[in-house]
């Protein structure tokens, strides 16, 4: 969560707190293209690949964190 | 922070902008470019527009264009163009162009760019349709977009640049698709061909098909970006796309690059001519290094053919620098260069001289040199000259030039195609038109010094070479065998003249040869040639004065000069006439390309020139 919050704050120059309840509309510049850019940055940070379904219709940052954690633990489990 | 006086802040900002613009490079990643774009936005724009005018660019597209277009103002600023963007709302170009009083009409664009993606095409013809149905689709689609573009041009008086379509990275039918007119990429290729046909100087094509194939169509598209955001290309592709657009725009809004000034050693050929000699440098077929340099020369030749001027800017002995261009296998020849600076002066001085000679601005010159030190010196002495960052391997030279995007042109004019010739003509005209005193005083500053006399034993080899290699200033183009020149030496019935010329830049070596035979009270000049780099410097006049003096010593009353026209020696067509000879009809043969000219010595007065003359035997050094 902290790492993802950092990425979001850095990308959008967002000064507020990023919590699980934060939604894209609260963060200036978080439009659909920036969203994909953010996903790519997160994928690179964690070494994972999220699917199109997982990255669309995300209600808030918490859902994004959950998707990332799912991939990270799946990869850890497969080792 | 607070102790910085307010009035100085714009200066600081201007420096900051310049520093940011220096970070803009074609090989940067999207992230790097994005960082610079963001930083640039944070710096207030206290600068005067570099071009004195802010260009108004409207961006329209059938997809999400804001990210794609966002770096454009920065990329243009790096090329000296200040621009503001106006985004035409997604897929509303028709209304904006056609409707009276639309927002676009009120905004009054200088340029409209129309971004297109094949991903946005929804009404593809069936893949197994015949050619006829496909042609109908292609014609309708292209007609639609081109009509809009042409209408925009008429209504707004703006220039229009329109994307063609990249091919898709999906090939479900593999190579069989080439035989299916309705296959997606077959349709795209047809649309692009049709677009090319409809293009004009006012509605130009931006070649996304070519650009995307350089990057690779699989990397060009990022499907997630398309599905999520309808962004038509990957972030990675935004960089070359933006650079390419900036080049296309700059090609018509800034003065084009007009001249490429090239170094010689290790730039046009491998090795150092002054050290390695003609046998030691690489420019030949069959030698991998040589072929790499040949390929680079061919690239330059292609640019030259479109109207760019080539100039040499090399630290070399002039004699050495020219020698390789006379060799078989060298792609570029001396007459491909409109200016030739080979000397030991700083290159920045030579580039200034080239600019003055060709009457072009320094910012119209691209400088190409393998040596990073020379590049650095030119960059700091002449910041407006465009300096190509050259890779180490000559195999990569052409691509290094290609990637700069500096050679884009908005159009081809027949004038361009003849440009080098024009500059050469202009140079000649200038010489003729300039008052004689001016050119004379220029020649006097050269401190020319000639050593003229009989053939010396050590000169025989060079004389043979000059006779056989000289094409332009060569009156009869009679080639000789290895012993032929030696056979002339010592003969009393033959006049032999060799000329060596020095000037303040150094020794030009042996540059002119003349010989002829005495018959009665006449001299018949059968051979006269001169190295082309000393044309119009008084050597002809000086040589003729010498010949006349020698003839008078023998009581000769008439000199006959022979001229045989070839494809290459037009430059001396009028030589005898200029020297005061008259056409000698009596001597003319039926062969029309052979002319004889006669000079009556009784009325001959020494022709003026500004060369200090040393005749062998009297005051030879």
A52 near B CB under 8 A: yes
Chain B, 383 to 412: residues with Cβ < 8 Å from chain A are none
- Cα–Cα dist B148/B162, whole Å: 11
Residues of A in contact with B225 (CB under 8 A): 33, 36
With contact defined as beta carbons under 8 Å apart, do B85 and B134 qualify?
no
Instruction: Please tell me if residue B601 touches chain A, with a CB cutoff of 8 Å.
Output: no
A56 touches chain B (CB under 8 A): yes
What's the gap in Å between the CA of B95 and the closest CA on chain A?
A: 25
pLDDT of residue B618: 41
Integer Cα distance of B506 and B488 in angstroms: 30
**B91-94 contacts at long range (C-beta below 8 A, 24 or more positions apart):** B91/B61, B91/B62, B92/B60, B93/B60, B93/B148, B94/B148
Q: Answer for the pair B285, B112: CB distance below 8 angstroms, yes or no.
A: no
Nearest CA in chain B to A51: B224
Name the minimum distance, in Å, from the CA of A9 to any CA of chain B: 15
Give the other-Cβ count within 10 Å of B145's Cβ: 20
Please check whether residue B225 touches A, CB under 8 A.
Answer: yes
Residue B203 belongs to what H/E stretch?
strand B203-206
Residue B576 is predicted with a pLDDT of 94
What does chain B come to in residues? 621
- Measuring CA to CA, which residue among B173, B179, B170 is closest to residue B131? B179
Q: Do B225 and A36 lie within an 8 Å CB cutoff?
A: yes
Which A positions 19-38 lie with beta carbon below 8 A of chain B?
A: 31-33, 35-37
Q: Are B378 and B370 in contact (CB under 8 A)?
A: no
Prediction ipTM score: 0.79
Closest CA to B111 of B203, B247, B244: B203
pLDDT at position B5 is 44
State the first-to-last Cα distance of chain A, in angstroms, to the nearest integer: 23
Mutation for testing the B interface, residue in A28, A33, A50 having most B CBs under 10 Å: A33
Please indicate whether, in this complex, the C-beta atoms of A55 and B228 are within 8 angstroms of each other.
yes
Say whether residue B234 is in contact with chain A using an 8 A CB cutoff.
Answer: no
State residue B9's pLDDT score.
45
Size of interface A-B (CB pairs under 8 A): 30
Q: How many angstroms separate the CA atoms of B351 and B362, rounded?
A: 8
CB contact under 8 A, B228 and A36: yes
B185, B167 contact by CB (below 8 A): yes
Model confidence band, residue A65 (pLDDT cutoffs 50, 70, 90): very high
What is the block-wise mean pLDDT of chain B (621 residues), using blocks of 10 residues? Answer: 44 76 88 89 65 85 89 91 90 86 92 95 93 94 93 92 97 95 97 95 94 95 90 93 93 78 96 89 91 96 92 92 91 94 92 90 93 91 92 95 87 63 58 50 79 90 83 87 88 94 78 94 94 80 96 94 86 90 73 84 91 71 34
- In DSSP terms, which residues pair with B560 in a beta bridge? B524, B598
Q: Do A36 and B64 touch (CB under 8 A)?
A: no
Q: B interface mutation test: which of A14, A28, A36 has the most B CBs within 10 A?
A: A36
In angstroms, rounded to a whole number, what is the distance separating the alpha carbons of residues B528 and B606? 19
Task: Work out the angle at residue B17's Cα, subtended by the Cα atoms of residues B12 and B20, and round it to the nearest 5 degrees.
Answer: 125
Q: Is the dihedral of CA A59, A65, A70, A74 positive or negative?
A: positive
Exposure of B458 by Cβ count < 10 A (0-12 exposed, 13-18 middle, 19+ buried)?
exposed
At B434 the pLDDT is 46
CA distance B331 to chain A (A): 48
Measured between beta carbons, which residues in chain A are less than 8 angstroms from residue B219? none
Kind of pairing between the strands at B506-519 and B522-530: antiparallel
Chain B closest-CA separation from residue A19 CA (Å): 24
Q: What is the pLDDT of residue B430?
A: 52
Interface residue B237 vs chain A (CB under 8 A): no
Residue B79: predicted pLDDT: 87
pLDDT, residue B65, reads: 87
CB-based contact B228 A31, cutoff 8 Å: no
């Amino acid at each position: 969560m902290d790492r993802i919050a950092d990425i979001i704050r850095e990308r959008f120059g967002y000064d507020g707190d990023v919590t699980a309840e934060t939604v894209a509309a609260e963060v200036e510049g978080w439009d659909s293209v920036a969203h994909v850019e953010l996903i790519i940055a997160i994928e690179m940070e964690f070494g994972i690949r999220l699917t199109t379904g997982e990255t669309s219709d995300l209600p808030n940052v918490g859902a994004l964190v959950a998707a990332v954690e799912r991939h990270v633990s799946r990869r850890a489990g497969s080792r | 922070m607070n102790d910085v006086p307010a009035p100085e802040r714009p200066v600081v900002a201007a420096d900051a902008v310049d520093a940011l613009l220096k970070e803009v490079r074609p090989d940067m990643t999207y992230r790097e470019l994005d960082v610079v774009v963001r930083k640039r936005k944070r710096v207030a724009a206290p600068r005067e527009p570099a071009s004195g005018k802010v260009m108004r660019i409207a961006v329209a597209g059938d997809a999400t264009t804001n990210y794609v277009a966002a770096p454009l103002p920065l990329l243009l600023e790096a090329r000296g163009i200040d621009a503001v963007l106006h985004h035409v709302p997604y897929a509303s170009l028709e209304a904006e162009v056609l409707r009276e009083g639309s927002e676009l009409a009120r905004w009054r664009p200088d340029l409209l760019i129309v971004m297109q993606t094949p991903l946005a095409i929804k009404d593809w013809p069936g893949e197994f349709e015949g050619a006829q149905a496909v042609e109908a689709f292609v014609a309708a689609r292209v007609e639609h977009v081109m009509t809009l573009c042409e209408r925009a041009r008429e209504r707004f008086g703006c220039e229009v640049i329109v994307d063609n379509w990249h091919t898709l990275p999906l090939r479900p039918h593999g190579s069989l698709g080439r035989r299916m007119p309705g296959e997606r990429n077959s349709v795209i290729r047809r649309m692009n061909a049709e677009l090319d046909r409809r293009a004009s100087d006012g509605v130009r094509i931006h070649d996304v098909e070519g650009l995307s194939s350089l990057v690779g169509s699989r990397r060009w598209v990022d499907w997630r970006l398309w599905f999520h955001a309808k962004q038509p290309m990957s972030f990675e592709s935004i960089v070359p796309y933006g650079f390419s657009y900036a080049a296309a725009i700059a090609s018509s809004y800034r003065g084009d690059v007009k001249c490429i000034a090239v170094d010689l050693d290790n730039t046009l050929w491998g090795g150092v001519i002054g050290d390695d000699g003609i046998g030691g440098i690489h420019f030949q077929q069959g030698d991998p290094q040589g072929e790499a340099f040949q390929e680079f020369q061919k690239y330059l030749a292609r640019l030259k053919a479109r109207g760019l001027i080539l100039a040499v800017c090399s630290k070399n002995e002039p004699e050495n620098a020219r020698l390789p261009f006379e060799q078989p296998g060298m792609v570029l020849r001396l007459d491909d260069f409109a200016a030739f600076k080979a000397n030991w002066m700083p290159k920045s001085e030579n580039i200034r001289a080239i600019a003055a000679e060709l009457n072009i601005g320094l910012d119209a010159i691209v400088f190409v040199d393998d040596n990073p030190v020379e590049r650095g010196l030119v960059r700091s002495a002449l910041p407006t000259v465009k300096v190509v960052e050259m890779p180490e391997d000559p195999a990569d030279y052409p691509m290094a030039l290609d990637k700069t995007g500096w050679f884009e042109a908005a159009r081809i004019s027949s004038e361009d195609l003849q440009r080098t010739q024009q500059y050469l003509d202009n140079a000649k005209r200038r010489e003729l038109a300039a008052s004689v005193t001016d050119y004379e005083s220029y020649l006097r500053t050269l401190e020319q010094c000639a050593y003229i006399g009989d053939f010396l034993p050590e000169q025989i080899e060079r004389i043979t070479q000059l006779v056989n290699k000289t094409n332009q200033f060569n009156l009869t183009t009679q080639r000789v065998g290895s012993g032929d020149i030696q056979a002339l030496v010592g003969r009393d019935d033959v006049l032999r003249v060799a000329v060596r010329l020095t000037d303040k830049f150094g020794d030009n070596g042996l540059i002119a040869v003349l010989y002829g035979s005495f018959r009665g009270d006449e001299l018949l000049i059968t051979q006269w040639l001169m190295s082309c780099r000393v044309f119009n410097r008084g050597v002809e006049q000086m040589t003729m004065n010498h010949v006349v003096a020698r003839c008078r010593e023998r009581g000769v009353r008439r000199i006959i000069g022979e001229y045989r026209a070839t494809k290459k020696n037009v430059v001396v067509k009028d030589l005898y006439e200029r020297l005061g000879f008259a056409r000698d009809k009596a001597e003319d043969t039926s062969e029309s390309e052979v002319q004889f000219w006669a000079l009556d010595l009784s009325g001959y007065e020494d022709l003026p020139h500004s060369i200090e003359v040393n005749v062998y035997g009297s005051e030879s050094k």
